[in-house]
Structure 1
Amino acid sequence: MQRFTEGFRGYVAAMLICLLGVFVFLLVTPQSREERIPRIDYSMDVAAMRREAPYQVWAPGTVPEGWIPTSSRKTPETGAKRSGKEPVTWRLGFATTVDPEIGRRRHAMLAQSDEKPAAEFANRMANSDKVVGTVQIAGATWEKRHREDKDQRSLVRFLPGSTLVVTGTAGWDELTAFAAVLKEQDRPADAPAADPSATAAPAPASSPSATG
C-alpha cells in the first residue's frame, strides 16, 4: 500500500510540474492579436465579367475604408463551356469594419445576375421577398428588405437585363455607402454588346410602396 501511495504522489507531482511548465511557456510566449482574414484580388473576375456578361456589369469604384474583400465567385466559371442560356452571376463578398457593439466585423456582399425571373434571384439573395421601404442612392431607387431572424439587410435594384443585390449583416449605413460606390464597368471593344431589347425586371407585385 505504501508503494502505491508513494507512486501516486509522484505521478501527481510530475503532472503538476508539467502543467506549471506549460503555464510558464504560455505566459512568456508573445500572443498574436492580429486579425487573420484572407484578402483576395477580384480584379480578374471584374475583367472576366466585363467581357463575358451579357449585361452591364457593376463593381466597386472604391472599397469603403477598412473593408476587406474575402470572396469572389463567378458562375459559370471563366473558360467553362456555355450554352448561352444559363445566367451569368457574380458574388463579391467583404468583411466590413469592426462593429463596436459586437466587437467583430460584419459582412456584406454584392450579387448580380441576369437570372430569370429576376424577382426570384432577388428573393434568394435577400432571403426575403418582403420590401420594407425604398431608398434613393446616387439618383437610383433601391428596395430595402430585412430578414430579422438572420440579421440580414438587403438593397435590391432591378436593371435592364440584370439584378443588383447588396446584402449582408452590415448596417443600413454601410450597405448604402457600398451601393453608392458601385460603378458601371466599360465593356471591351471586342466583347458582345449587352442586349438592347432587355427591359427592367418588374418588382414583385406584392411589394409595398413604403419609403425608408
Structure 2
Amino acid sequence: MPKIILLNKPFGVLSQFTDPQGRATLADYIPHKGFYAAGRLDYDSEGLLLLTDDGALQHQISHPKRKMAKTYWAQVEGDISDDALMFLRKGVDLKDGRTAPAKARRLSEVDLWPRNPPIRERKSIPTSWVELIIHEGRNRQVRRMTAAVGFPTLRLVRMAIGNWNLGTLQPGQHRSEEVFSAPKPRPKGKSKPPQKRNHPRRRQ
C-alpha cells in the first residue's frame, strides 16, 4: 500500500535531498529512505510538502492535468483591496498567460509560527494576509499573482494540497499516512467488448 509523508517544510529548505552548495535539504528532516517529493515548494516558501514512496501516486499528485487544489496563505505588503481580490478571482495576466480563476479572501486573523528569519517589514507600510486556492502549478505563481495586482508577497505558506493539510505540524515536523489507491480508469476507446453468452436453443 502506498505511503505518504506530510512535511511542514521550513523557510530556507530545498525540496530535494541533496545540494552541492550545502544548503538545507529534505535529508535534514526526513530519515526514511525511498521517498520522493510529489511536487515542489520554493526555497523561500514554507508549509506543506508531500512525499511518497509510490511513483504512480507521485505522478498523480504533481501532474498539472490533475488540477489538484492547493491552498496558500500569503502575507502581502499593503492592505489588500477588494479590487485586488476581485482580479485574483477572475484571473491575472502574467508573462506566461492568464491564470485560471482562483479563490481569494482576506484573512483577518492568522495564527502561525514565527518565521526564521523574520520578514523585512517597512514601518510606514502595513501588511495583510490573503488566502489563495489555485489549481495550477506555475513557477512562483502565487508571488507573481499578488505582485501583478499591486501587493507583493512577503511570506508564503502552503496550508493544504487536496484533502491533505498541515494540521498541527510545526516547521520541520512530519507525519506518515497510508493511501488507499483508487482503481485506474479504463483508457478511452479501449472499452472491453461485451462477452457473448451461449443461450440454449429453444425447441421449435
Q: TM-score normalised to the size of structure 1? A: 0.27
Larger Rg: 1
Q: Which has the higher helix share?
A: 1
Name which structure has the greater RCO, CA cutoff 8 Å, separation 6+: 2
Q: TM-score normalised to the size of structure 2? A: 0.28
